[in-house]
Amino acid sequence: MDIPKLEIKNIIHFYEEKKILDINRVYINEGESVVIFGPNGSGKSTLLRIMSLIEKPSKGEIYFKGEKINKKNSLNIRRNFVLLLQKPIFFRGKVKDNIIYGLKIRKIPGKEIQLRLKKIISLLSLEKLIDRRIDELSGGEEQKINLARALILQPEILFLDEPFSFLDASVKEEVIYELRRIIKKLKQTTVFVTHDWEEAVLLGDRVILLYEGKVYQEGPIEEVFNKPKHKMLAKLVGVETILKGIIKNREGKLLKISVNNNIFQVIGDGELGEEVFLGIKPEEVFISKNRPEGSVRNWFLGEIEEIIPSGRVMEIKLNCGFPLKAFITKASCEELNLNIGKKVWAGIKATSIHVIKKGK
Amino acid sequence: MNIFLDGLIKAFKIIENLDPEILKITWLTIKVSGTATFISLILGIPFSLFLALRHFPGRKFLISMINTGMGLPPVVVGLFVALILWRSGPLGSLNLIYTPIAMIIAQIIIAFPIIAGFSMSAFQQVTPDYYLQALALGASRLQAIWAMMKEARLPALAAVMAGFGGVISEVGAVLMVGGNIKDKTRVLTTAIVLETRMGKFGMAIALSVILLFLTFSVNYFLTHFQQRGERRWIFRSWR
């Protein structure tokens, strides 16, 4: 078995008297992009600070490439990492000074600094920003500079603490795609924290579910998000069905996407052969006894696996060859005489499916 | 009005002639208040960093002490230091009463809480955020503290100005522990008091002008560092 790049074991962490982390083991392999997913207050940021060696855990061991971290080697090993904070703080002065800050404190020679600066400017297209003052940047530009000052250090592991939470939706998307492009290009090992499933799907290969300081589940994204092991986790990850598929056909904006050999017709962008994730909100799913005629393009026959009262509606879990969740009212549930094991048709409009591109 | 005019004219003559006595007094003033401010700074900055960044039992009590100290009446400090350094006092054997060192000690007690108190709130304002950010980019603990201190320089230099301004203008404590001895412990403030009492207004005004000029120069110099590169101004609103 390969030694993981970073491994933490038996971590227990207290703040004052309160235990906030209790983790058996978390590991990060070379080149992977791992998401730590959990609600506010689950200990995500603390875990990230501990993994990036910024905060010392109350108890437990940390290994980097098999080497145990101690007081002596911690600074040198920590300098292989960079943590991007939720709300970046910049030091007074120019953009350039901020970008090279990390190199300066590592006492990297001036020539090397200039070389790396050039590279990072072209990688992130910073030509126009580099000589600006730090207080003249917009929110999106700040994130770019934040990323630049991290990547210029060529970190072995890049840690990100909800780096997009302070951006508005339009800029956010752009920054996320940009980040993904770079992570893929550099084959950057990345660990990031989020409570947004879309970000998780876009950026992560593997997800670690954190709740009240404990790791409850861990694995590939679609597995963890669709089959949470606990009811509490189901609430946490949201009710959306998330499916992984491949684009098989494209006619203009209409895509045909295969999910376990079931074809979905979806409106969206993408190239043939591209891997995508589909997000389906349960309130957008129709349930019918027979397959009706009409404009709805996607109909799947599925078996009811569970019926859960969920507030004023009933949540129906179907197995259509893939998992699918639907919300219907209590009245319809009774009218359709739904019960576990019964086969029904589930319909989803092509426009109701959210396509998240994952890249080839 | 005549007293004032006469005084002013005399004052300028005295300054113009660069009276050696005045030079001596001015130099001693700079030495005593400068040293006291410098030592308060050396003690006050680490102490305020500690207060600002660490949680420990008794922290609030210490902060209240500092805050009280910021408004300490100089005469009380003078009395306290005089009692300790008095020939029959606990440190009387050191023979420090009526020496510049005694004056420096008294001024440190006045300046230290001012500098520590102001810089503590300065460091709390720039907050541990800067510390964390520096660590996140690979700074060592010392480098992170340095980064934070650089960001706090605006309010921290205000602390220095307040501390220096507090001691250079103070008269009660230096008079009590220094004794205003000619050529030995006479500083600008005590000299002004003496000259005024003797009705030598020209000399008093000359000394005052020098004192004001001194404080202004030091503050101008510090302000220069403080405001360098500072560009956070408020925009103009309608009304």
Give the tens place of pLDDT for each residue, B73-120: 999 999 999 999 998 989 989 999 999 999 999 999 999 999 999 999
Residue A235 pLDDT exceeds 60? yes
B104: its two tokens: 């420096």
Contacts of B229 in chain A (CB under 8 A): 92-93
Per the prediction, chain B carries an average pLDDT of 89
Partner-chain residue, chosen from B130, B231, B232, that has the shortest CB–CB distance to A89: B130
pLDDT of residue A140: 79
Q: Output the pLDDT for position B193.
A: 94
> What pLDDT shows up at residue B229?
67
Tokens of A117: 């600066």
* Least confident segment among A167-176, A189-198, A316-325, B111-120: A167-176
State pLDDT tens for residues B119-145.
Answer: 998 888 876 788 899 999 999 989 998
Is the CB of B227 inside 8 Å of chain A's CB atoms? no
**Is B234 a domain residue?**
no
Residues B184-199 have a mean pLDDT of: 94
Pairing relationship of beta strands A189-194 and A33-37 according to DSSP bridges: parallel
The residue-averaged pLDDT of A21-26 equals 94
Q: Is the pLDDT at A156 greater than 90, yes or no? A: yes
Q: What is the pTM of this model?
A: 0.73
- The residue with greater pLDDT, A283 or A300, is A300
Residue A359 has pLDDT above 60, yes or no: no
CA distances from A179 to A161, A187, A190 (A): 14, 12, 11
Q: Tell me if B136 and A105 make a contact (CB, 8 A cut-off).
A: no
Task: Name the token pair of A220.
Answer: 């590939």
CB-CB neighbors (< 8 A) of B132 in chain A: 54, 85, 89
What pLDDT score was predicted for residue A360? Answer: 43
CATH of A6-237, one of 3.30.70.1070, 3.40.50.1220, 3.40.50.300, 3.40.50.1780: 3.40.50.300
pLDDT over threshold 60, residue A329: yes
- Chain B neighbours among A 134-193 (CB < 8 Å)? 135, 149-150, 153
Which of B154, A137, A241, A353 is closest to A147 using CA atoms? A137
Check whether B230 has a pLDDT greater than 70.
no
Q: pLDDT at position A237, please?
A: 66
Q: Does the CB of B232 have a partner CB in chain A at under 8 Å?
A: yes
Q: What is the CATH number of the domain that holds B13?
A: 1.10.3720.10
Q: Is residue B229 part of a domain?
A: no
The domain ranges of chain A are 6-237, 241-357
* A192 Cβ neighbours under 8 A, 6+ residues apart: A33, A34, A35, A36, A159, A160, A161, A162, A163, A199, A203, A204
Q: What's the average model confidence in pLDDT over A151-176?
A: 84
Beta bridge partners of A256: A249, A265
Out of B132, B138, B151, whose CB is closest to A85?
A: B132
The answer, yes or no, to whether residue A78 has pLDDT greater than 60, is yes
Distance CA A54, CA A68 (A): 15
Are A229 and A216 in contact, with CB atoms under 8 Å apart? yes
In a domain, B179, yes or no: yes
Pick the CATH number of A241-357 from 2.60.40.10, 2.40.50.100, 3.40.50.1450, 3.40.1280.10: 2.40.50.100
Q: Is A286 on the interface with B (CB under 8 A)?
A: no
pLDDT higher than 60, residue A259: yes
The arrangement of strands across the sheet holding A254-259 comes to A262-267, A254-259, A241-251, A275-280, A353-357
Chain A residues with CB under 8 Å of B151 CB are 91-92
pLDDT digits (tens, 9 = 90+) for A300-319: 999 999 888 877 788 888 99
* Contact map slice: B 105-164 vs A, CB within 8 A: 129-130, 132-140, 143, 147, 150-151
How do strand A189-194 and strand A157-161 relate by DSSP bridges? parallel
A231 touches B: beta carbon within 8 Å: no
**What gap in Å lies between CA B219 and CA A316, rounded to an integer?**
74
Instruction: Tell me whether residues A85 and B136 touch, CB distance under 8 A.
Output: yes
Chain A residues within 8 A of B134 when measuring between CB atoms: 101, 105
Residue B68 has a pLDDT of: 93
Q: Greater confidence, A247 or A356?
A: A247
Residues of chain B with pLDDT > 70: what percent?
Answer: 97
Q: Which domain holds residue B173?
A: 2-224
Pairing of strands A214-220, A206-211: antiparallel
Query: What's the pLDDT band for A232 if we cut at 50, 70, 90?
Result: low
Q: Does B235 reside within a domain?
A: no
Tell me the two tokens of residue A291. Answer: 């397959």
Partner-chain contact B138 A78, CB within 8 Å: yes
**In this structure, is residue B231 part of a structural domain?**
no
The domain total for chain B is 1
Per-residue pLDDT at A231 exceeds 80:
no
CA distances from A32 to A51, A188, B22, B154 (A): 15, 7, 75, 43
Tell me how far apart the alpha carbons of residues A240 and B17 are, in angstroms, rounded to a whole number. Answer: 89
Highest mean pLDDT among A49-63, A173-187, B6-20: A49-63
Complex ipTM: 0.75
Which range, of A27-36, B145-154, B169-178, averages the lowest pLDDT? B145-154
pLDDT of A56:
93
CB within 8 Å: B137 and A149? yes
Q: Do B147 and A91 touch (CB under 8 A)?
A: yes
* 3 state SS of B232: coil
| Mean pLDDT to the nearest integer, B54-72 | 91
